[in-house]
């Protein structure tokens, strides 16, 4: 994991989730690159075509914005919001 990706990862106010159509994915990595919260990584496993599909690292990092789905040229992934995240804690400095 890159240092820039680690800086993006913070527990989000809302829980999101992603659905991946693994066999439609060509492993381009656009979803991983443009995820604003760093919630996605390319999997180490392969699909039937020999590509590495994306996977959600942790649901706490995903806010369900669906930018992954908007950037996917093959419509192989989409994100959605699940609801408020019980693990989210307001930053004490922000008060």
Q: What is the 3-state secondary structure (H, E, C) of the chain?
A: CCHHHHHHCCCCCEEEEEEECHHHCCCCCHHHHHCCCCCEEECCCCCCCCCCCEEECCHHHCCCCCHHHHHCCCCCEEEEEEEECCCCCCCHHHC
Quick check: is 91 in a domain?
A: no
Q: CATH number of the domain that 71 lies in?
A: 3.30.70.20
- Does a structural domain hold residue 69? yes
For residue 70, the model assigns a pLDDT of 96
Quote the number of domains for the chain.
1
pLDDT value at residue 1: 61
Residue 3 makes CB contacts below 8 A (sequence gap 6+) with none
* Structural domain includes residue 64: yes
Q: Is residue 74 part of a domain?
A: yes
pLDDT at 95 over 70: no
**Residue 21 domain boundaries:** 3-81
pLDDT tens string 19-74: 999 999 999 999 999 999 999 999 999 999 999 999 999 999 999 999 999 999 99
**Band (6; pLDDT cuts 50, 70, 90):** confident
Q: Burial code of 29-51, b = ≥16 C-beta within 10 A, e = fewer?
A: ebbbeebebbbbbbbeeebeeeb
């Amino acid at each position: 994991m890159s240092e820039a990706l680690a800086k993006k990862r913070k527990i989000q106010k809302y829980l999101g989730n992603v659905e991946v159509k693994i066999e439609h994915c060509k492993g381009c990595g656009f979803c991983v690159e443009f995820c604003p919260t760093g919630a996605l990584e390319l999997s180490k496993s392969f699909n039937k075509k020999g590509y590495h599909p994306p996977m959600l690292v942790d649901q706490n990092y995903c806010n369900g914005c669906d930018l992954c789905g908007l950037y996917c040229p093959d419509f192989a992934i989409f994100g959605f919001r699940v609801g408020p995240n019980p693990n989210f804690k307001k930053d004490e400095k922000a008060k």
